[in-house]
């Protein structure tokens, strides 16, 4: 049977990669042969996971501390990754934050700016830099992790929903900008059982409105990421896939 997800010799950069969905994605890419650069705000967490994955898979790994809302950190991250590996073949823009506010009028400007920076400004910049380098080098795949909130917004997280909607728009724009060599796609996850879910109300999952009536498990987003990052999706670009358990 054809090996659809063979990333041997490929280098993947995953932001927000030290925990939750990002960590599951990093492990899966390495298990399928990719060398992995793991980036998030806390360098020690990235380095710890990088050592763990390297020990388990034998792949080359690198943990880098970088704030995805700051373009100077993003520029440094890209230079470090290219200096260590020489190329990036896969970019997973996974870093994000989704704080809530009681009302829109009570949303502080600092919180608004931070949410937009991490969820849109940073991924836009990173995709722009890496995508242009990929195009010049002959190819690559970018996967932006958006949110079902982009098309199902709620008052409590309006800035987050707006930032993710903007990321969806940038996904399509970059798909055209870096075509035909680089493919750019997105995924809109629903509610997943990550460490963030520990802070949610115990009744939230029981009352969740979705066809599958449960949270997703981190591993359940992996197959969609592998598909969009691989040559198996060679005729797919500018698309945003829902992985949300069937949210109405």
Catalytically active residues, by annotation: 160
**Rounded Cα distance, 213 and 228, in Å:** 26
Query: Which residues lie closer than 8 Å to 213 by C-beta, 6 or more apart?
Result: 245
The 90-93 sheet, strands edge to edge: 61-65, 35-40, 11-15, 90-93, 140-145, 182-189, 240-243
- Burial class from Cβ neighbours inside 10 Å (0-12, 13-18, 19+) for residue 209 reads exposed
92 and 24 in contact (C-beta within 8 Å)? no
Here the tokens at position 27 are 């492990």
170 and 123 in contact (C-beta within 8 Å)? yes
Q: At what angle do helices 109-116 and 158-177 cross, to 10 degrees?
A: 30
Query: Taking the CA of residue 137 as centre, how many other CA atoms within 13 Å lie in the half-sphere pointing to its CB?
Result: 15
């Amino acid at each position: 049977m054809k090996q659809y997800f063979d990333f041997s010799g490929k280098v993947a950069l995953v932001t927000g990669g030290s925990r939750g969905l990002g960590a599951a994605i990093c492990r899966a890419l390495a298990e399928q042969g990719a060398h992995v650069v793991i980036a998030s705000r806390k360098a020690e967490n990235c380095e710890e996971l990088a050592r763990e994955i390297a020990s388990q898979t034998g792949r080359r790994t690198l943990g880098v501390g970088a704030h995805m809302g700051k373009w100077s950190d993003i520029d440094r991250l890209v230079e470090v990754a290219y200096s260590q590996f020489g190329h990036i073949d896969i970019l997973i823009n996974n870093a994000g934050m989704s704080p809530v506010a009681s009302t829109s009028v009570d949303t502080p400007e600092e919180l608004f700016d931070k949410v937009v920076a991490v969820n849109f400004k940073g991924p836009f910049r990173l995709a722009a830099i890496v995508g242009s380098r990929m195009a010049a080098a002959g190819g690559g795949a970018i996967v932006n992790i958006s949110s079902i909130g982009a098309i199902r917004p709620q008052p409590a997280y309006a800035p987050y929903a707006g930032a993710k909607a903007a990321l969806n728009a940038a996904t399509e724009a970059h798909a055209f900008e870096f075509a035909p060599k680089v493919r750019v796609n997105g995924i809109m996850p629903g509610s997943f059982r990550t460490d963030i879910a520990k802070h949610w109300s115990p009744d939230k999952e029981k009352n969740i409105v979705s066809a599958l009536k449960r949270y997703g498990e981190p591993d359940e987003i992996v197959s969609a990421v592998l598909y969009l990052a691989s040559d198996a999706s060679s005729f797919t670009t500018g698309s945003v896939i829902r992985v949300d358990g069937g949210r109405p």
